[in-house]
Amino acid sequence: MEPIYLLLLNFFAVFLLVNENILIERISKLKLGVALFNLLVSFLVVFTYSLVIESSIYNMIYRVFVVLNILFFAYGLFTTLKASGLKANYYHLFIKSIKELKNNIYFVIDENERFVDISDSFLEDIKLTKDKVIGRKFFDIINKSLDFLKMNDKEINNNYLEQHYIRYIATINSQKAVEIEFTYKTVDDKKEIIHVVEKPIFINNKFKGRIVIGEKISSLDSTKSKHKYHNLLNEYNDLQIRFISTIELTSEGVFYLNEETNELWGTDRLKEILGLDMNVANIKDLYLNIHPGDLENYDKQMRIKKSKGEYRATYRYKSKNSYRWILEEGKLVDTTDGKLTIGIIRELDSGRVTKKVTFPDELELKLAIKEYIKEKRPFGYLRLNLDQIKDMNVKYGREATSHIVDEFVKKLKRNYTRKTSKVYELSIHEYAIIIDDLIDFSVVTKSLLSGSDLFNLNIKMGEMDMSMEPSIGIVEYPNDTGSLDELIKACESAVNMAKKDYYKHKFCFYKDIRDVLN
C-alpha cells in the first residue's frame, strides 16, 4: 500500500475513534494513543518511503505495519457502528423501561410551563384525558385537579409551588437533577405520595424545560424501584435533545439575550410583535427601531438592569412602518456561559388587553355595607373615579392610557386588599374601598390632607411622564350617615364635588359639604 493511502486510512481511524468517544462519553486513552502513533508513523513514512523499499527488513516491517493498521481501522469501524446503533435505540429503551416500572410517574414540561408528555398513572390522579392536558399550562391543570400538601416534608400549597417554579425558571443555570418527594390530594380526596427526580433540559446552554420521572410511594411495594429511576435517568441524560424536538414554543414574547454577544433568541410570538424574519436577532439592530424620544428612558433601564439585576421598560417600537407601545421586563442571571437576560415583551394594545385584576362588584359592596350596619361596626368608605381617562386618551393614546389604568388597579389591589380593607369595582373606571379599621382609615385621611400622593400614580412611558390622580369621595359610618342608601348617595355627592375644577382638592369629605347640600 502506498504511504499516502496509509496516511488517509489513519486519518479516518482517528476520526472514527473521536466519534466513538463522543458516543460512549469517555476517552479511550489506549486506543487514542495507538491511533495517534500510527498517524505519526504514517506521516513519516510518506517522506522516507524510498528508504523503506530499498531495505528488505524495513519493507517487511512496513507490510506488517500496514496489515496491523488495516485491522485497527476495521476494529474502530466496528466499535463505532456498534456504539452508534445502541445510541439510536436509547429513546425507545428509555420509554419502554419507564412503562415497565410499576406505579410510574413521568411528565415533560417545556420552558413555557406547558405539558409535552405525561404518564397514564398521573392522568388518573388529575382525572383528565391526555389530549386535554398536552399543550396546557402546568398550573392551569394542577390548580383544578390537585392540592399539594408537602414538598420534601415541608408543608406547602399550590400557590407556594407555583412561586417555587417561577423562581426555578428564572434562576436555573445547571443541568443537575434533584430528588423531590411530593404529597398531594386528588379531587376525590385521595392522598398520594410521589418520589421523583426532576431534571432540567438544556440545549445550547438555554433552558428548554424539565423532565420529571418517579414513582408513587403510597404503596410499600413501589419503594423497591426508587433508586432505579434515578440511575435510569442518569444513564440516558443525552435523551434531553430528543425531547427538545417535541417542545412547542407557544408563549408570547419570551426572549433570551446573551449579554456578551448581544444575540437575542425569541419565541414566535416575540417575532410577530417585533416584525422579525427569524427567531434570532442582534439587540443592536432592534435598538434602532425604538422611538428616538424613548431611548433615554430605555438606556436608563438598561443601567438599572446592570446594577440591580432586573428592569422594566415601556417604549414605542417601529414595526411595519408604524410605532406601537411595548412593555419589556427582564432579569439578568449568571450562567456557565456568562450573563444572560431572560425577559418578556408584551404589546400594549388596548384592543387586546385581557383584564388581569378583578374585584368584587357593586352588589357585593352593598351586601358588605349592610352587614357592617347590621353589626353596628364603624368603617370608612372611599369612592374613586378615574375621570381623567378621556383626556388622557386624547393626550397619550389608548394604549398608554390603558397601561397606566392597569398599573393603577394593581396598586389598589396591592395596597388595599388586606384584612382590614377591601376594594370593589363599581364600573369600568370607578372603584370603592371599605376600611373597617378606623386607625387605618385615620392614617389614610390624614395622609390625603397632608398632600400625600397616596392614591396617585406617576409612571414614565418612553419619554412621557404620565400621572393618574383619581377624584375621591370619603364618608365615615356612622358619623356621617346612618343607612345604606344615605351612605351611597353621600359618597356620590362627595366624589362629584371632588371632580369640580373649582374645588380645593381632588378629594372631598362628605362632612365638609353636608351642610351645604342639606
The C-alpha cell 462519553 sits at: 25
List, in order, residues 6 or more apart from 376 with CB less than 8 Å away.
Answer: 478
Q: What is the pLDDT of residues 272-291, one digit of tens each?
A: 888 888 888 999 889 999 99
How big is the CA angle at 416 (ends 414 and 420), to the nearest 5 degrees? 130
Higher pLDDT, residue 493 or 102: 493
Q: Answer whether 379's CB lies under 8 Å from 436's CB.
A: yes
Q: What is the pLDDT of residues 181-196, one digit of tens each?
A: 999 998 888 888 888 8
Q: Answer whether 158's CB lies under 8 Å from 170's CB.
A: no
What is the predicted pLDDT for the residue at 83?
A: 65
The C-alpha cell 353596628 sits at: 376
Has residue 243 got a pLDDT over 50?
Answer: no
Q: Which of 98-102, 387-391, 499-503 has the lowest mean pLDDT?
A: 98-102
Q: Answer whether 70's CB lies under 8 Å from 62's CB.
A: no
What is the predicted pLDDT for the residue at 442?
A: 92
Has residue 459 got a pLDDT over 90?
Answer: no
Higher pLDDT, residue 213 or 83: 213
Q: What is the pLDDT of residues 135-194, one digit of tens each?
A: 899 999 999 899 999 998 889 999 999 999 988 888 888 778 888 999 999 888 888 888
The C-alpha cell 383544578 sits at: 144
- Cell numbers at residue 335, please? 450562567
| Backbone dihedral angles phi then psi of residue 444, each to the nearest 5 degrees | -65, -50
Higher pLDDT, residue 421 or 232: 421
List, in order, residues 6 or more apart from 347 with CB less than 8 Å away.
Answer: 253, 273, 324, 325, 326, 327
Has residue 228 got a pLDDT over 90?
Answer: no
- What DSSP designation does 175 have? -
Q: What is the pLDDT of residues 72-108, one digit of tens each?
A: 888 777 777 766 655 545 545 555 555 555 577 888 8
The pLDDT mean for the chain works out to 82
Q: What is the pLDDT of residues 408-421, one digit of tens each?
A: 998 999 889 888 89
Percent of the chain with pLDDT over 90: 25
Q: What's the mean pLDDT in 38-65?
A: 77
Q: Answer whether 405's CB lies under 8 Å from 389's CB.
A: yes
Has residue 475 got a pLDDT over 90?
Answer: yes
What is the predicted pLDDT for the residue at 311?
A: 92
What is the predicted pLDDT for the residue at 256?
A: 86
What is the predicted pLDDT for the residue at 222?
A: 45
Q: What is the pLDDT of residues 346-377, one digit of tens each?
A: 887 655 544 556 889 999 999 999 999 999 99
Element at 202 (helix H, strand E): strand 191-203
The alpha carbons of the chain give a radius of gyration, in whole angstroms, of 34
Has residue 70 got a pLDDT over 90?
Answer: no
What is the predicted pLDDT for the residue at 241?
A: 45
What is the predicted pLDDT for the residue at 249?
A: 45
3-state secondary structure of 344: strand
What is the predicted pLDDT for the residue at 445?
A: 92
- Cell numbers at residue 284, please? 443592536
Q: What is the pLDDT of residues 248-270, one digit of tens each?
A: 444 467 888 988 899 998 888 88
What is the predicted pLDDT for the residue at 508?
A: 93
Q: What's the mean pLDDT in 427-440?
A: 91
Q: What is the pLDDT of residues 316-334, one digit of tens each?
A: 898 888 888 888 999 998 8
